[in-house]
Amino acid sequence: MQLIIWLLLMIGGFTPTQVRELETDPLFNSGRGSALTENGTVEMEASIMDGPKRRCGAVSGLTTVKNPISLARLVMEKSPHSYLAFSGAEEFARQQGVELVDNEYFITEENLGMLKLAKEANSILFDYRIPNGGFETCSAGAAATDSPLQMNGLPISLYAPETVGCVVVDQEGRCAAATSTGGLMNKRTGRIGDSPLIGAGTYASNLCGVSCTGEGEAIIRATLARDVAAVMEYKGLCLQEAVDFVIKERLDEGQAGLIAVSKNGEVACGFNANGMFRGCATEDGFMEVGIWP
């Protein structure tokens, strides 16, 4: 599972500052430190949504934008569109004057090593870096579960990517959500996951804000983030009940998790893997972090 930051901020307005901070840290699978494609390059994606008016912005296929979440917000605020991708998104970034860097900036030695291991295993890795006790790959050949590959003395199967996300609610009950990722290690070029898809990896409304993590294809099939808001609205469930429902009923055999806040200031999380890294903070100084259920 990815690392995802879960913030309850009782302040007016929403900025993607928290996500930008994580995008610049090479420890996370977003911005610098993003997972590599099969060609050894980085293609990043992100989305942001403002609940009260359901405004949203999303980007995919970024190769030079230092902070994808900032460009997603500009798509929301400075363009007539909701989603831009690849060369069109890069051109929009240049027009808006956002900071651009060479693709090499995003590539770390650690990820080059992980890509080599993934290619040797002939697999797309869902899991790397953070031990979570499970093996999840899309094998393109022989069963990857038999691979003897190790890192730091642990089977490679015990490591998980760290997409980053943030959900917030202010003192007026306005919710927002943002998610940013580099995707899967050894993914095909041009692959788009759940993180930039509004309603799948990110969603916010007048009821709640949601950001998801895990197997992108499973999250897309479930429209997981939107479904939290839907069951709150149509079934009358509270936030945690809604989160528990979609994790149990919508994922089929996929593994995923999510963080969420409601307009009433509730915070909730849910996942069907061994653990999910998360944190929560409020303006009065309360802070909490968690990994396990």
Radius of gyration (C-alpha) of the chain in whole angstroms: 18
DSSP 75: H
Structure tokens at 287: 């802070």
In whole angstroms, give the CA distance from residue 137 to residue 102.
29
In whole angstroms, give the CA distance from residue 69 to residue 15.
10
The residue annotated as part of the active site, out of 63, 163, 181, 223, is 163
In whole angstroms, give the CA distance from residue 145 to residue 222.
26
In whole angstroms, give the CA distance from residue 257 to residue 148.
28
Q: Taking a C-beta distance cutoff of 8 angstroms, is the pair 214, 252 a contact? A: no
Q: What are phi and psi of 212, to 5 degrees?
A: -115, 165
226's enclosing H/E stretch is helix 224-235
Q: Which residues in 196-215 are b (16+ Cβ under 10 Å) and which e? A: bbbbbbbbbbebbbbbbbbb
163 is catalytic: yes
36's enclosing H/E stretch is none
| CB proximity list for 62: less than 8 A, separation 6 or greater | 43, 44, 45, 46, 68, 71, 89, 90, 93
∠ CA 15-192-131, nearest 5°, is: 80
Q: Taking a C-beta distance cutoff of 8 angstroms, is the pair 286, 265 a contact? A: no
- For the chain, helix, strand, coil in percent to 5 are 30, 25, 45
- Just list the catalytic residues: 163
